Amino acid sequence: MESRTDLNTLTEHVFRTAGEHGLWQPHDTIIVAVSGGPDSVALLHVLHRISKLHVPLNLICAHVHHGLRAESDDEEKLVRRLAEGLGVPFELARIDVPSYMEESGKGFEEAAREKRYAFLHETAVRRGAASIALAHHADDQAETVLLHLLRGSGLAGLKGMKIKRSEKNVELIRPFLRIYKTDLVSVCKQQGYEYAVDSSNFSTKYRRNAIRLDVLPFLGQYNGQIRQSLVQLAEIAGGEDDFMERAADRAYRETVQHKNGRLYFEAPSFLALHVALQRRLIKLILNYLSAGSEITDFHKIEWIRQTMIQNKSTTWSLDIGGGLACIREYDKIWFMHKPQEQSKSYTYELQAAVPELFIPEIGKRMTMKAQSPHDPFFQAKGEACAEAVFDADQLKFPLTLRSRLPGDTMKVMGLNGSKKVKDIFIDAKIPPSARSRIPVLVDGSGNIIWIPGVRRSAHAAVGARTISVLHMCLEDAEAVEQL
């Protein structure tokens, strides 16, 4: 990789990178995170130079005092002097990392990062900033990729950090992400920029330091360009991950449907997708239902996918954790928030036909109307309405509309003998989730004479000698209210 040890060359490189990735617009307010190290010191100088020579920018220098090292006070003074010397407003935060570690149960690196970014975001909001500039460079990128690789990451992790990324309505920008640290240190020395050296950077008790000080030099014995190779991997993985994300978004739009807060797709459509898109589609669905909590657990996603492609049963259910469930009902695979375990039992006894009966347990209503067999029946009301007609004189009252019970059987019209209601549902491919909302109608002799929308029995069939017809209709109560 070419050396960029000259300030002009470095400035031009950053200016081109900004244009390529749209890092800023003229007069943007940018929060520049400055720790006092050579990377962030160079960043503030370069952005200040660009603001004077190329594009007017409103820079804010933001520094975090962690209070953990003796040098922290000196670093604060150094950064404050730097900001004042450039005429850049200075923002300071003193954070108590140990207290936050105890409160959150997080390790030092994660706790310090969260508190630091919280301050940067708060400053960005207060100052009306469009972006937060971070001094991450190519060596940081190489370390990040290797860290993710060791954790077992996919493409999303191997692409490392992005030059520009939105977070909490603010852009995080990294103008130095293609510049190596030696170039930044060289520019600081050439220009006489004062900077601090963080002694904690040499402690291998922190994972990232161990990667930088031990692992990368070890791997360098086998590949003298290991850092460049990892940065190149991040570039390639980033482009391919972006391509796959777009393909997954397209597959989502073409395949996934929404219904009452649940998501579903047709099983054959899913199985026809490439394995890579199958995984990403599942991940997109889980992230959608998890309301912003990104799910990246490969093992969970693969377990769900393997169940879909290997389980030959047409109906099954998975508790996938996080209050979510994945359910297959014949050709449809549903993802939803796990329904509460409750079975609503109900019984309505009718001594005579009634014009209207509401069943709130299932959100339905039943209407009954006596007619002459020569009168036209009710007009069909579409799929939402289940209808049946009976010979009124042959019906044995009282009629009972109730929830289904285990072992229920019905003498189906056109068949000899009786059949279990459960098997009738299976034959009709009624999804298990819909069965609890289908009642059964029982006559005075205890015979199930109708399963609305599914089948009716041979009892009280309308024939040539029928004088009076009882027409019944079961429909959604919500549909009635909308009429």
Query: Of 355, 387, 353, 370, nearest to 456 (Cα)?
Result: 387
Number of helices followed by number of strands (H, E) in the chain: 17, 22
Query: With contact defined as beta carbons under 8 Å apart, do 63 and 101 qualify?
Result: no
CB atoms within 10 A of CB 9: 14
Residues 6+ apart with CB under 8 A from 429: 314, 330
Alpha carbons 426 and 402: distance in angstroms, whole number: 20
Alpha carbons 149 and 152: distance in angstroms, whole number: 5
Pairing of strands 448-451, 440-442: antiparallel
Alpha carbons 219 and 151: distance in angstroms, whole number: 17
Helix (H, G, I), strand (E, B) or coil at 376: coil
Where is the binding site, in residues?
A: 35-40
Alpha carbons 461 and 445: distance in angstroms, whole number: 16
Q: Which residue do the tokens 């024939």 mark?
A: 463
Question: What DSSP letter does each residue of 262-274 carry, written as one string?
Answer: EEEEEHHHHHTS-
Alpha carbons 224 and 216: distance in angstroms, whole number: 10
Query: With contact defined as beta carbons under 8 Å apart, do 424 and 451 qualify?
Result: yes
Query: With contact defined as beta carbons under 8 Å apart, do 141 and 151 qualify?
Result: no
CA 257 to chain centre: 15
Where is the binding site for ATP, in residues?
A: 35-40
